[in-house]
Chains A and B, each alone.
Chain A
Amino acid sequence: MSNRWGLPDLGIGVGLRTVHFGHILANRPPVDWFEVLSENFLDTGGRPLHVLDQVAERYPVALHGVSMSIGSTDPLDLGYLDKLKALADRTRAHWVSDHLCWTGVLGRNTHDLLPMPYTEEALRHTAGRVREVSERLERPLVLENPSSYVQFAGSTMSEWEFLSRLAEQADCGLLLDVNNVFVSAFNHGFDPLEYIAGIPADRVVQYHVAGHTNKGTHILDTHSDHALPEVWELYRRAWARTGPTATLYEWDEDIPEFEVVHAEARKALEHRDTPARSGTISAAVAAR
């Protein structure tokens, strides 16, 4: 199965990070594609944009943002959206993604990906904004499932039900972060396999895989390490549902050399085709 928009499987990608700029330009590593953190390139005329232009000349790219605040009750920042569209056009980005979250209210930005209460009101509110953003960007918005540390008492549906209904109502794509599924499953005590099974497979246009930090009482989504086998197992199960879909490895703290990140990303190729591991995911989530 491929996604309903026919957006391409870009292969195995890596996040474009400043510490790797020199290596990428000098060595042109054989990575399939790069994911670009949109906000790092919107207001600069300096080296980052110069490097991005060269990367976009040589590699397919997709934009990934952290400040759209799609679930916020603040008005959408239209100036931001216009700059985002200009960057997407400039880099010929295959798609533009952000997170199902809000980052602030009253004009203030916490720069955190704060979770939504999963209610009918939040669903109506967010779906309307997703449609508005997609029109403004002239392309379907792709939304990533967040990792979260709180659950709202007023939620009336699961996160995967909210995401599925949102994607349907707003006609948006999904970026399925299997590490976030694992983190939230651990923190909230739900079954990650039920989550994976509940996501509309034909709307998934990209995967994220990453490492995290287990603090004992909860897991933090730190993007600071290799992914656990259980996270790869979730990826394998999801891949079996969606078929070939662009996959990206995220490494944002204690970032190692480019080859290490790329090698970690390429593990996706091995995990796709391995037999199912029995019991590992539920055991990991239950170990809390």
Chain B
Amino acid sequence: MTLLPLDRVQRWMHDVVVHPGTVAEALASPAAVPAPAERIEDVLLPSATLTAAERIGIYHAMYPLRMGEALSSDYPALHHFLGDAGFAELVRAYVQAHPSRGYTLNRLGDHLPGFVKTAPGLRRPDFCHDLARLELAITEVFDAPETAPLSEAAIASVPPDDWERAVLTPVAAFRLLSFRYPVNAYLQTVKDDNHDHPKARLKDTWVAVYRRDYAGYRLELSRTAHDLLAELVAGRSLGEALARAARTGGRRAPSEHELFRWFREWVSGGVFGGVTIGSDR
């Protein structure tokens, strides 16, 4: 029997448990030193019914399941798109590249959008990248700090002549995204258990993800509405943002009616959390 120091026992067991191959491969790998396969019973005892390798195999088998469950919880539409086998393969590769380094599994998937873009062998990586970005935004918005939406009193306190210089700031639980694929529509069909999914074909789409009263919302935007909202989120005054939208929008420059409708929707939806009056330029 080998009495290994605690740190070596833990290093060994960790490396075997997280190994992406079979238990036999894990025990035969360089990570299994100082307890290679032929000496595993120097470290672990067999039971009456299981060998030492079968016993550590229980932990080895549970590791990818636990990681997969956590990632599936945050990326249900990506899981749906890839199917069980494809998603399991993605999880296996992802946690090798980005193992959990924190005390919570809630942050395990933070690198997944970037990972899927270049993951070898992944079906439709560009579509998966967009879908993962949307799902990550949803989890970020879910956990973001609660900040009060702009009140009617705050809006009323802005003198009409000052609105041009008004700078609107979004609530903390807000993300603005643009995509090359209709991933929000895809996500909705998954949520609705509707199997008539939109095709993963190129189609520019724009979405605001935000939370109000602890409930999450996704708002599909036109390109012009997205661009205007992006200017505001970047900290430009309302007048400046409108002027830039008119310049860059060309024929798609928003009409007064559209502007009124958008602002009513954004303000009532709780997108904005504050308003300040900027200085004259």
Measuring CB to CB, which residues of chain A are less than 8 angstroms from any residue of chain B?
A: 39-40, 42-47, 50, 67, 72-73, 77, 80, 102, 104-112, 114, 117, 119, 121-122, 125, 149-154, 187-189, 216-218, 220, 288
Contact = CB atoms under 8 A, between A and B. Distances in A.
A102 B144 contact: no
A218 B59 CA distance: 12
A112 B6 contact: no
Contacts of B10: 72-73, 102, 105, 114
B7 A46 contact: no
Contact of B56 (A122, A150, A217): A150
Contact of B66 (A46, A112, A216): A112
Interface in B17-67: 17-18, 41-45, 47-50, 52, 54-56, 58-59, 62-63, 66-67
Contacts of A188: 47
Interface in B91-106: 99-106
Interface in B73-119: 99-107
Contacts of A109: 99-103
A110 B18 contact: yes
A111 B100 contact: yes
Nearest to A186: B47
B18 A46 contact: no
B229 interface: no
Interface of B: 1-7, 9-11, 13-14, 17-18, 41-45, 47-50, 52, 54-56, 58-59, 62-63, 66-67, 70, 99-107, 142-146, 172-173, 211, 214-215
A110 B5 CA distance: 20
Contacts of A149: 55-56, 58-59
A213 B46 CA distance: 20
Given A43-B107, A44-B143, A288-B48, A108 B100 contact: yes
7 A-B pairs with least C-beta separation: A45-B145, A67-B103, A47-B214, A73-B7, A217-B49, A44-B143, A149-B58
B17 A46 contact: no
Given A40-B104, A46-B214, A153-B45, 5 more contacts: A80-B103, A108-B100, A110-B59, A151-B47, A153-B1
B106 A43 contact: yes
B43 A153 contact: yes
Given A80-B103, A117-B6, A153 B145 contact: no
Nearest to A47: B214
A46 B144 CA distance: 6
Contact of A114 (B13, B102, B214): B13
A115 to B, nearest CB: 9
B162 to A, nearest CB: 31
A96 B76 CA distance: 33
A50 B48 contact: no
Contact of A105 (B3, B7, B52): B7
Contacts of A121: 5-6
Contact of A152 (B7, B44, B100): B44
A152 B142 contact: no
Contacts of A189: 47-48
Contact of A117 (B9, B17, B41, B214): B9
A222 to B, nearest CB: 10
B99 A108 contact: yes
Nearest to B214: A47
A106 B44 CA distance: 22
A189 B214 CA distance: 49
29 contacts: A40-B104, A43-B107, A43-B143, A45-B144, A45-B145, A46-B142, A46-B143, A47-B142, A67-B103, A72-B10, A104-B100, A105-B14, A106-B11, A108-B99, A109-B99, A110-B17, A110-B66, A111-B105, A112-B66, A117-B9, A149-B55, A151-B44, A151-B47, A152-B43, A152-B45, A154-B1, A188-B47, A217-B49, A220-B58
